[in-house]
Amino acid sequence: MSTPDEGYGETIFSHADANEYERLQALSDALDPVTLSVLESLPSEVGPQWLELGAGNGSVARWMAERHPSVHVTGTDRSLRFLDPRGHDNLRFLCHDVTQDSFPDGSWDLIHARYLLCHLPERDYVHSATTRWLSPGGWLVLEEPALFPLHSARDDAYRRVSLGALEVLAQRLGTDCTDCALNLPIKSASLGLADISMQVTCPTITLGTPACTFWRLTLEHLKPAIAELPYVREEEVADVIDRLSQPGFLDLGMATITVTARKPCSGEPRDGSGAEEHRNGEQR
């Protein structure tokens, strides 16, 4: 794929767009229950330095700070428009471009990123960098979208328009919703991480659900570009958006792949046998 001409948030999904906060809030409402459950299931001895990359509207970083008042939480994003640390003494937000700005090796005990790597052509570099930034014994939690359920959507127009939206993102931003998420476990293993687990969540798209609101607003934002694709008619895009706003529509959405992995301590066997309890999905 050729190098994209723009980055996430420059034109597509700019925080200055009228509905962007609503779109991000809907995504948080859809995904936070799984994210927070996974974070809550991590071992209690995780150290106190926590990093939220690509904090978006800040929902996960705020939960970290509220749920764990003894932890020091840093949330980063290229835009701080929607991020406010007030009311949380243990939370700060930092303007930070993960493709250019770094942190010292071993400086974070927990790093979480959601729907970040897929939008970065430099995703392999960033994945490797986050591993270096982890302290020995620290945890990496990555969540990325995967489009494979959309291929099984029963509504033909909805399927083509939805896949068209992801093609637009691939062309404009270099977004990868095909392989990025599914490759997370094997790439994490290749970087020396241990205790790797994977969870798959697939919401349905129907009126009244946060996933539906998120996807409708995404399609509205990308509507002109989707309509230019050769296999989508302009009126189909408007029709799909309209039907997502009406009762009765029900189909598959994108999956979210959640991968957790731990950085082994010095001298520890690569298989990470010391965290068997977490790998088997047991709660602490």
- What residue segments make up the domains of the chain, in order of their start? 20-266
- pLDDT on residue 277: 41
H or E element, residue 30 = helix 20-40
DSSP 141: E
Q: Which two tokens stand for residue 169?
A: 């993102």
> Which residues have a Cβ under 8 Å from the Cβ of 71 and sit 6 or more positions away?
48, 49, 50, 64, 65, 90
pLDDT, one tens digit per residue, over 126-164 is 999 999 999 999 999 999 999 999 999 999 999 999 999
What topology is assigned to 20-266 in CATH?
Rossmann fold (3.40.50)
pLDDT, one tens digit per residue, over 7-49 is 898 899 999 999 999 999 999 999 999 999 999 999 999 999 9
- pLDDT above 80: residue 273: no
- pLDDT on residue 272: 45
Q: pTM (2 decimals)?
A: 0.92
